Amino acid sequence: MAPIDPHSFTDSAHPLTTHVSLTLYFDFPSSTISAATLLSLAAPYSGPLTIDTRSLSVSAVLDPLSLSRIPFSLSPSPPDSVLGQSLNFSLSNQSQVLILSETAPSSSALQWLSPPQTFNKSHPFVYTQCQSIHARSIFPCQDTPAARIKYSAKLNIPRQLSAVMSAKHVERRPPSPAEAVGVCEDAIWCADDRVVEEFVMEQPIPPYLFAFAVGELGFREVGPRTRVYSEAASELLDASAKEFSHTEEMIRVGERLFGPYDWERFDLLVLPPSFPYGGMENPRMVFLTPTVIKGDASGAQVVAHELAHSWTGNLITNKNNNHFWLNEGFTTYAERRIVEVVQGDDKAALNIGIGWRGLIEEMERFKDNLEFTKLKTNQAGVDPDTIYSQVPYEKGFQFLWRIERQVGRPAFDEFLKKYIATFKFQSIDTDMFLDFLKANISGIEDVIDLKMWTEGTGIPPDAMEPVSEIYSKIVSLANEFQLGRLPMEDEVADWQGQEWELYLDNLPKSVEASQVRALDASYRLSESRNHDVRVGFLKLAISARCREYYGKVEKTLKEVGRMLYLRPLYTALVQCGGKGDEEDKVFATRVFSEACDSYHPIAKGVVEAILAKFVV
Ligand code: BES
Ligand code: ZN
């Protein structure tokens, strides 16, 4: 018995599931989902099977044909803090097994919002975030990207709500009499109040790409294969439709660069502000934070990134999280190629520069844990959420950019297309990529130290900053800040969010409080509608202990649950620094205790880990 993935109980000697058929009954009053999960294997199998679960109550494992019970056990007990529990049973010449289970209200993949926590305040809302290893907290599955599954799903939900999934919508219909059985046991919802929404995903996906959202949803058409969905409020829908009006153009650019778009639809779902990421590449239905809607079309960068995953990540997937850079490094490279076409070289250079700064900061964060400065990592025993970083994104980007510089763009483009066509719908590891690289670009290993790039720590000497006039100008202005010079009005006249973000990222780590105040007096960054800018400024204000901004810090921490913002703000508050740290820690702890009910469980866990490290 050998695990195939440090984050899954799945055994290499067991067959992998090829299809999952799900029936889900949503009970909003108890924040739980009852699931009937039919797992199918490619062929009849006799022997043990090990399935991942986390905080699920499993009531029965059944032979779906005879409905006879199959004995099962859950282990270890108590559950492993990273992996959860394995569900163990044996099959005898069977290719299907039916598992009945119920989620816990604390399911790590699910955020349940009560009506007051939603935009319209009249209906509840629930949505998933399964990457990296949270699908197992919704239904039992072999929760490893080494498994690729097709699925179908029937979602039984209150009639006032509707559902979207990372799958094709089949129909919305009343529950059949059989499906109504058991429903009326519930005092609050009875069959008349329910509908069933059916979906099917006909392409094999890794379990982390399973996704749904249920709530009072509306949509706008923004392109021939794109709708933007959000909570049904016209101001939200209109702003979203405007922000994402260029999506079709980006899909076409992606197709030109990377080959056909294989997922038919590219819909977008704008989630409530607690969504813990900027975006999540759920196939056919990308999930987005509302903070990308800034009114200046800069949300396009996040969409470009999630779109790029349609090729790099969703078509070709890392076999397990040790090779996560194959997903995110390739996607960051592909995202910047799309941005370069639709927004120009300067914007692409700014993004590379912001990424470069981010990479340098991560080296500092992991200076005592160099394993996570590598591309190919060993994540055994480690929770992927707590070590989530820019390293796979930016060091991965730098590696691919280095290869591009070596071979020239035309040859690299050809290589990329061939790579995607060769491995599509497969899950691969770093060595498979390197073998393919060496086979297709002969002699590459003689000019680039591939081992240093993939297995070495830190930033290789042949990584580089972008070359661009606007980039250099912003960096030198940031350096002059140290000498007491603020940028002049005409120098920043055409700056948008990314320019300011780059400027703020490049300021020295410790700055004088008076300078922070002067910067804000001139440019009102603490009031920016753009969260990247506002948070960048507030981070600076915290490190200079400018406490007059803490009201804005508190407001921001209570308004959004995107980890990109929570992580640096909480870290800046609790990390050792100048005088008055205790006061900041007390402040951070209080704000968290008041805000955490509105955070997604993943974000809550990540902030708890930050506070636990620094607050004793
Ligand atoms: N797949 C990631 C988000 C993710 C990674 C969720 C790991 C869970 C575990 C997504 O594609 C992503 O990278 N989002 C970025 C967008 C940005 C790079 C434009 C984010 O959320 O910040
Ligand atoms: Zn990504």
* CATH dotted code for 469-613: 1.25.40.320
Task: Please tell me the CATH superfamily of domain 1-108+119-203, with its number.
Answer: tricorn interacting facor f3 domain (2.60.40.1730)
What number does the ligand 1 atom closest to the CA of 276 have?
A: 21
What is the mean pLDDT of the segment spanning 130-150?
98
pLDDT score of 616: 64
With residue 87 as reference, give the H or E element that holds it. Answer: strand 84-103
Q: Which ligand is closest to the CA of 288, given by its number?
A: 1
In the chain, what percentage of residues exceed pLDDT 70? 97
Ligand nearest to the CA of 532: 1
14 appears as a binding residue in the annotation: no
Using left for φ > 0, alpha for ψ between -120 and 50, and beta otherwise, residue 456 falls in: beta
Residues with Cβ within 8 Å of residue 106, at least 6 apart in sequence: 55, 601
CATH class for the region spanning 318-455: mainly alpha
Local structure of residue 11 (DSSP, 8 states): B
Residue of minimum CA distance from atom 8 in ligand 1: 131
Active site residue 306: yes
Domain boundaries, the chain: 1-108+119-203, 216-310, 318-455, 469-613
pLDDT more than 90, % of the chain: 93
- Report how far residue 237's alpha carbon sits from residue 242's, in angstroms, rounded to the nearest whole number: 9
Looking at the structure, give the CATH architecture of the domain made up of residues 216-310.
Answer: 2-Layer Sandwich (3.30)
- Cβ atoms < 10 Å from Cβ of 489: 9
Note if 471 is an active site residue. no
Over residues 543-594, the pLDDT tens digits come to 999 999 999 999 999 999 999 999 999 999 998 664 458 999 999 999 999 9
Residue 19 CA to ligand 1 center (angstroms) comes to 26
| Residue 565 near residue 603, CB atoms below 8 Å | no
Residue 315 CA to residue 426 CA, distance in Å, equals: 7
Residue-wise pLDDT tens digits, 16-75: 999 999 999 999 999 999 999 999 999 999 999 999 999 999 999 999 999 999 999 999
Give the binding-site residues of ligand 1, using a 6 Å CB cut-off: 131-132, 277-281, 301-302, 305-306, 309, 328, 388, 564
**For residues 167 and 152, what is the distance between their CA atoms, to the nearest angstrom?**
8
User: Which two structure tokens, joined as six digits, stand for 72?
Assistant: 């099962």
As a whole number, mean pLDDT of residues 467-492 equals 95
* Distance separating alpha carbons of residues 486 and 59, to the nearest angstrom: 65
Q: Which of the 8 DSSP states describes residue 265?
A: -
Reported as a single tens digit per residue, the pLDDT across 266-310 is: 999 999 999 999 999 999 999 999 999 987 767 899 999 999 999
Task: For ligand 1, pick from 292, 305, 377 the residue to mutate: most ligand atoms within 8 Å of CB.
Answer: 305
* CA nearest ligand 1 atom 21, residue: 278
Confirm or deny that 309 is annotated as ligand binding.
yes
Range 355-370 average pLDDT: 97
Q: CA quadruple 73, 74, 78, 83: dihedral positive or negative?
A: positive
Of 277, 285, 318, 339, best ligand 1 pocket probe by most atoms within 8 Å of the beta carbon: 277
The model's pLDDT over 216-239, given as tens digits with 9 standing for 90+, comes to 999 999 999 999 999 999 999 999
Catalytic residue, from 198, 216, 306, 340: name it.
306
Q: Which atom of ligand 1 lies nearest, measured to the CA of 327?
A: 1
Say whether 328 counts as a known binding-site residue.
yes
